[in-house]
Amino acid sequence: MSGFVEKPEPIQVPGLVHLHTGKVRELYQNEAGDLVMVASDRISAYDWVLPTEIPDKGRVLTQLSLWWFDQLADLIPNHIISTDVPEGAPADWAGRTVVCKSLQMVPVECVARGYLTGSGLVEYNESRTVCGLALPEGLSDGSELPAPIFTPATKAAVGEHDENVSYEEVARQVGADTAAQLRQATLAVYTRGRDIARDRGILLADTKFEFGFDGDTLVIGDEVLTPDSSRFWPAESWEPGHAQPSYDKQFVRDWLTSAASGWDRKSEQPPPALPQEVVDRTRAKYIEAYERLTGTSWS
C-alpha cells in the first residue's frame, strides 16, 4: 500500500474544472480548454506523498522549469501559454502556476541517463545492461557512461512504481516513428541540460521528460530538469564507486530510512511527518540547485 498519507482536497476556483491531483501538481482546465497546472509544496518518497510540505518547493520547480524551457526553446517547443494566475485563484498560486496547451500526451516516461546509478545500476549489476542496452564492464555507482542512453519507462499511477521498458517495447506501444522522435528529443534535451549544468558545477546524472503532441508537433510538457525530475550532483564532490550527494530528496530519504523515523519501509504503515531540520535542509537544497543553475538569487 502507498500513495497519499493525507490526500488534499482541491481548491475550487470559478471558471476552472479540477481534473487531477498528482504527487506534486494540481491540474485544472479553464473555459478556453487550456490546462492550468499548479505546483504544490508536496514531496514524495518511496511511493508515498508525505504529510509534510517543503516551503517554496512548488515555486522553485515552476520557476526552474520556466528557465529551462527558455534554454531549450531552439531544440523543442514547450507547452507554456502564460504564467498568469487565473482570476479568482488564491494569491499564493503566484509563481507556481502555468497555463499550458492541452496536448495529446505520450504515455511514456522518457528517461535519459549519462551516469550509472539508481535502477540502472541494479540492472547493470545483474546483466551489464540498462533497459536492454549493453554497457561495458567495470562501471560502478556514479560512473559516467560512454554516451548518454535513452531508457524509457512506463508511466505509473500515484503510489506505484514506473517500470523500465525496452526501446522496442516503446515502439510497439506508440509506433516506430513516435518512438524515434521521443529518443531523439530526449537525448538532445538531456545533452543540452547536461552541458549547461556542467558549466555551473553540477552533473546531470539522469532525468525524465514527458512529451505530447500538439497536432503533428512533438512538444515537451510537465516540468523539465528540476530536482524532482532529475538527479543533480555537485561536480566538485563526484567520485564513482559509491552513492553521490544530490540536490533532491536525499535528506528526506535518509531520514525516513533511519532509526530516528521509526518507520519500516516494508510495512504498510504510512511514513511519519518530517522533522523541521529535514524540511529546512531539503528546502535549502532545492533553492541551492535553482541558484547554481540559473545564476540568480532566490527570492
Selection from 290, 274, 207 nearest residue 44 by Cα: 274
pLDDT of residue 47: 86
Q: What is the pLDDT along the chain (299 residues), one digit of tens a residue?
A: 468 988 899 999 999 999 999 999 999 999 999 999 999 999 999 889 999 999 999 999 999 999 999 999 999 999 999 999 999 999 999 999 999 999 999 999 999 999 999 889 999 999 999 988 999 999 999 999 999 999 999 876 554 567 889 999 999 999 999 999 999 999 999 999 999 999 999 999 999 999 999 999 999 999 999 999 999 999 999 999 999 999 988 899 999 999 999 999 988 899 999 999 999 999 999 999 999 999 999 97
Bin 48: left if φ > 0, else alpha if -120 < ψ < 50, else beta: beta
| Same fold for the pair 13-98 and 103-235 | no
**Do the bridges between strand 104-105 and strand 202-214 make them parallel or antiparallel, or are there none, so unpaired?**
antiparallel
Contact in structure between 133 and 145 (CB atoms under 8 Å) = no
pLDDT of residue 2: 61
Sole residue written with cell 517554496: 56
pLDDT of residue 157: 57
- The neighbour count for residue 88, using CB atoms within 10 Å, is 10
pLDDT of residue 159: 47
CATH class (in words) of the domain with range 103-235: alpha beta
Sorted by sequence, the CB contacts under 8 Å of residue 101 that are 6+ apart come out as 34, 35, 79, 81, 214, 219, 221
- The neighbour count for residue 230, using CB atoms within 10 Å, is 26
Q: How far apart are CA 189 and CA 83, in angstroms?
A: 23
Please give the model's pTM, rounded to 2 decimal places.
Answer: 0.94
Looking at residue 154, its amino acid is T
CA 198 to chain CA centroid, Å, is: 19
| DSSP string for 19-52 | EEE-SSEEEEE-TTS-EEEEE-S--EETTEE-SS
Sole residue written with cell 476552472: 16
The domain ranges of the chain are 13-98, 103-235
Backbone angles phi, psi at 249, to 5 degrees: -95, 25
pLDDT of residue 250: 85
pLDDT of residue 1: 44
- Candidates 3.30.200.20, 2.60.450.10, 2.60.120.260, 3.65.10.10; correct CATH number of 13-98? 3.30.200.20
